[in-house]
Amino acid sequence: MRTLSLLAILLTLILGTSISSIASDEPVTSIREALKSSNGTPVILIGNVLREKAWGFTNYFLHNKTGDKIAVDIDDKIYQLVIVTPQATVRIWGKVNRRIGREPIIDVKRLKIL
């Protein structure tokens, strides 16, 4: 038992995460937690999708009532199925995509207007 505890501590120090978060398939439900989550972590988030233009690109961000925001990648095939306005509250299902040297982005698999 002591060896297992030491191994868990060692992995936590090396990976910067706990064993429970490695083994968990539970989706993250807050933007703040999604921003800290590892690559591939499933998410179910609620907020408003806003478009922001920067450097000639259109980027989409999910904002919530607490002021947190995270970039979201919504495929055209998903986005064309619903009309999303900045006032519409949506629930998104997806996964965290961590890119080296950049903020994480959520790969949206499903979107529903609430």
CATH number at residue 67: 2.40.50.200
Query: In degrees to the nearest 10, what's the CA dihedral of 39, 96, 54, 61?
Result: -160
Give the pLDDT confidence of 27-37 residue by residue, as tens digits: 999 999 999 99
Cβ-based burial of 44 (10 A; exposed 0-12, middle 13-18, buried ≥19): middle
Identify whether 63 is part of a domain: yes
Residue 3 lies in a domain: no
pTM: 0.73
Which helix (DSSP H) or strand (DSSP E) does residue 78 occupy?
helix 76-79
User: What does the alpha-carbon distance between residue 40 and residue 86 come to, in Å, rounded to a whole number?
Assistant: 27
When divided into structural domains, the chain yields a total of 1
pLDDT number for residue 75? 83
Q: Which residue has the higher pLDDT, 49 or 59?
A: 49
Instruction: Specify if 13 maps to a domain.
Output: no
97 pLDDT exceeds 60?
Answer: yes
Q: What is the pLDDT of residues 59-77, one digit of tens each?
A: 899 999 999 999 999 887 8
What is the residue range of 41's domain? 26-113
